[in-house]
Each structure stands twice: as C-alpha cells, then as structure tokens.
Amino acid sequence: MFVDVDNALKSNISEETGVDSNKHSKTISSNYLKGLQLRHFLLYDVLPGVGSAIAIGLLWLQPISLIEISLLVGMWVLTGIGVTVGFHRHFTHRSFQTSTPIRVLLTILGSMAAQGPLTSWVALHRRHHEYSDRPEDPHSPRLHGEGIWGRIRGLWHSHFSWMMAHEYPNIVHYAPDILRDKAVMKTSRLYSVWILLGLVIPAILGGVLSGTLQGAGLGFLWGGVVRIFLVGNTVWAINSFGHVYGSRPFKTSEYSTNNVWLAVSSLGESWHNNHHAFQSSAKFGLWWWQIDFGYWVIRGLEILGLAWDVKAPTPKMIEARLKPSSQSQQM
Ligand SMILES: [Zn+2]
Ligand SMILES: [Zn+2]
C-alpha cells in the first residue's frame, strides 16, 4: 500500500495525475497511483525481505549481539504501537481520544513501519471492514477458489501480493476526518522522512553503543530493515492467517479469527475475531489471558490523563454476542 496524499487530494488535476477522486466514488484508479504503489511495494515490502536475508547471512561472520537484539525489539515495540494503537485503534476506529501531540507522535511511529501513509492505511482498513471477505475487500484470503491451491493462493494474496497492485480506496470518501486534521496531515506528508528516521535512529544508537562503524551498520540492519520486515509480516499475518486459521468465539459476518501465537508479536492485534465483533473497542484482548500490549499502552495513557473516551464492551455485551458453544471454553 502506498500513497502520495497531496496528489490524491488535488482531485481536479486529473490531467496531471490521472487521479479521479470524485467524492462519491469509493475507489480511484490511475496509472500514476499504480506506479507509486509498485514503487512502494518494491522499496518497503520486497527490499526489507532481501535485507533480512543478508542480515541472517551475516550471522555466519559475526553472531548477533545484545545491542542489535535491543534495537530490533525496541524499534519493533515503538513502531508496532504506532500501527496498532495509532493507525488502527485510534485513527481508523476512533476507539479512544487523545491530544494533538500524541496523535502526531502516533502518526510518526506508525509511518516508521512503512506500511503506507496514515490516510492510505486508514482508508484501506475501513474498506476491509466494510467489505470483509467479499470481492471489494483489499486483502481477503477467501476468494481464490476451493481446495488446497485455492487456500494457498488466497493466503499468498492476502499476506503479500495484494500490496503490489490493489484497488486504491478514495481517501476523500474513506478518511475525511484524517484529512481535516491539520497537524496530523502536516506530519503524515513527511511519510518518507519518518521511514528514513526509523532507519537512522537504530543506526546512530548502534554506532554509539558499540563505538564502531560496523555497529552502526548492524543497528541499521537489525533495528531498521529487519524490523520493518518483521513488523510488516506480523501485520500481514493478521490479514492472511487471521481470516483463515484460529478460533472464532464470536459469530461475525466474515471469517476473522483469534490467534494466540501472534498475540505478543502483534501487540494484541491477533485477537482479530474479537476486533471484528467489537470494532470500536480499544481493547482487543477481551479475556484476562488474552495478552494485549496495545490496550495496556492505551490504558497507561488513560491513567496519565493523556487518553480519554476509551471504548470497550461490557461483560454483558460480550456474553450477549458469544456463540453458545464457546461460552464454556472462553470463560
Ligand atoms: Zn480494524
Ligand atoms: Zn479482518
């Protein structure tokens, strides 16, 4: 996913960009956008994979040190918070309110994950909820035929290949609230700068902490490139596996599932069936044992007075939506 917000917004300069952002159309189509999409896919989805393979190869020469592991985990958590707490729970679903400085910070951290600028991310995800597992869904694994090959094709599409070329949702239709937020839009327009910063910070820290140039290179590789690859794959796994395998305590209108094995790495995103059942809830882990680091961050902000109107279903609402057969397993 990609996009150049300024050009998408300048809806009337279609001769220049080919963008047709008619307020009433839900998708826009142009060769200009397709070119940007492909460039984004190669730079931020394919290249980090290549970089990660190189990083693993280099382990034969020198084992990974605590510095690289710390930079990888630290940057993973920070940018993961940007995606799940910022892009997803706050901006897409408005599951809690917060101040402008926090909104700007979440925009920066989410942008560092290189999963597309905020407006694109929000528009694509709102479209996913609108058409989950139907043909208009940007990344459903369920529409590629029957049998094992249909399943494999579906997983490949929803995990990775959809980003190469997908219908582009009209941000004027899907994300007008984001477009109206001046501070956030000003920040989001610097999308590429934030990605670069997300690579430079671990490089500088790696260099300073190790005292060597090689340490700077390894910091860039593990805290930047490998981290983009791993955070990306974790989020894509929710799009793919999270609509195919796992438990479904709630009977929702699509195939969303809960997956405990992704709960820690996705900071709670993998309680995806819970999320589809209660889309405006800031809390994805609805039972005590469902680890949800993203919600703990929001709860921490709330305790500090930095977040308010935090939405979550009551136990009664949860019980009312549960399928009868799953009540005994979940409680
Ligand atoms: Zn969502
Ligand atoms: Zn979903």
Domain boundaries, the chain: 7-330
Residue 14 pLDDT level (bands cut at 50, 70, 90): very low
Residue 15 in this model has a pLDDT that exceeds 60: no
244 CA from centroid of ligand 2 (Å): 10
User: What's the pLDDT at 299?
Assistant: 98
pLDDT (tens digit, 9 = 90+) per residue, 188-208?
999 999 999 999 999 999 999
124 CA from centroid of ligand 2 (Å): 11
Residue 143 pLDDT level (bands cut at 50, 70, 90): very high
Q: Work out the number of other CB atoms within 10 angstroms of the CB of residue 192.
A: 13
Torsion of CA 89, 95, 100, 104, to 10 degrees: 0
Average pLDDT over residues 299-304: 98
201 CA from centroid of ligand 2 (Å): 32
Tell me the ligand closest to 140's alpha carbon: 2
User: What's the pLDDT at 22?
Assistant: 53
Per-chain residues with Cβ under 5 A from ion ligand 2: 256
69 CA from centroid of ligand 2 (Å): 31
61 CA from centroid of ligand 2 (Å): 41
Tell me the ligand closest to 239's alpha carbon: 2
Residue 8 in this model has a pLDDT that exceeds 50: no
Maximal CA-CA distance, the chain: 60
Say if strands 168-169 and 307-308 run parallel, antiparallel, or are unpaired.
unpaired
Residue 327 in this model has a pLDDT that exceeds 80: no
217 CA from centroid of ligand 1 (Å): 36
124 CA from centroid of ligand 1 (Å): 10
User: What's the pLDDT at 44?
Assistant: 97
Is pLDDT larger for residue 1 or for residue 118?
Answer: 118
84 CA from centroid of ligand 1 (Å): 9
130 CA from centroid of ligand 2 (Å): 10
User: What's the pLDDT at 326?
Assistant: 53
Q: Work out the number of other CB atoms within 10 angstroms of the CB of residue 132.
A: 19
User: What's the pLDDT at 29?
Assistant: 85
Reduce the secondary structure of 264-310 to three states and give it as a string.
CCCCCCCEHHHHHHCCCCCCCCCCCCCCCHHHHHHHHHHHCCCEECC
Query: What's the mean pLDDT when you consider all of the chain?
Result: 92
Residue 159 in this model has a pLDDT that exceeds 50: yes
User: What's the pLDDT at 328?
Assistant: 45
Average pLDDT over residues 145-164: 94
89 CA from centroid of ligand 1 (Å): 7
Average pLDDT over residues 77-104: 98
User: What's the pLDDT at 30?
Assistant: 87
CB 96 within 8 A of CB 90: yes
200 CA from centroid of ligand 1 (Å): 30
CB 112 within 8 A of CB 44: no
Q: What's the length of the chain?
A: 331
55 CA from centroid of ligand 2 (Å): 32
Tell me the ligand closest to 270's alpha carbon: 2
Dihedral (CA of 255, 260, 265, 266) sign: positive
CB 273 within 8 A of CB 258: yes
Residue 129 in this model has a pLDDT that exceeds 90: yes
* Lowest model confidence (mean pLDDT) among 9-18, 47-56, 96-105, 202-211: 9-18
Q: Is 280 exposed, middle or buried (0-12, 13-18, 19+ CB in 10 A)?
A: middle
Residue 62 pLDDT level (bands cut at 50, 70, 90): confident
CB 198 within 8 A of CB 112: yes
28 CA from centroid of ligand 2 (Å): 22
Angle made by CA atoms 58, 59, 63, in degrees to the nearest 5: 135
CB 274 within 8 A of CB 291: no
Tell me the ligand closest to 273's alpha carbon: 2
pLDDT (tens digit, 9 = 90+) per residue, 215-233?
999 999 999 999 999 999 9
242 CA from centroid of ligand 2 (Å): 7
Residue 126 parent element (H or E): helix 118-130
Instruction: Please state, in angstroms and rounded to a whole number, the distance separating the CA atoms of residues 98 and 91.
Output: 10
Q: Work out the number of other CB atoms within 10 angstroms of the CB of residue 182.
A: 9
Angle made by CA atoms 318, 319, 325, in degrees to the nearest 5: 120
User: What's the pLDDT at 64?
Assistant: 94
Instruction: Please state, in angstroms and rounded to a whole number, the distance separating the CA atoms of residues 217 and 202.
Output: 9
The DSSP symbol for 226 reads: I
Residue 4 in this model has a pLDDT that exceeds 90: no
Residue 116 parent element (H or E): none
User: What's the pLDDT at 24?
Assistant: 67
324 CA from centroid of ligand 1 (Å): 25
Instruction: Please state, in angstroms and rounded to a whole number, the distance separating the CA atoms of residues 232 and 112.
Output: 11
180 CA from centroid of ligand 1 (Å): 21
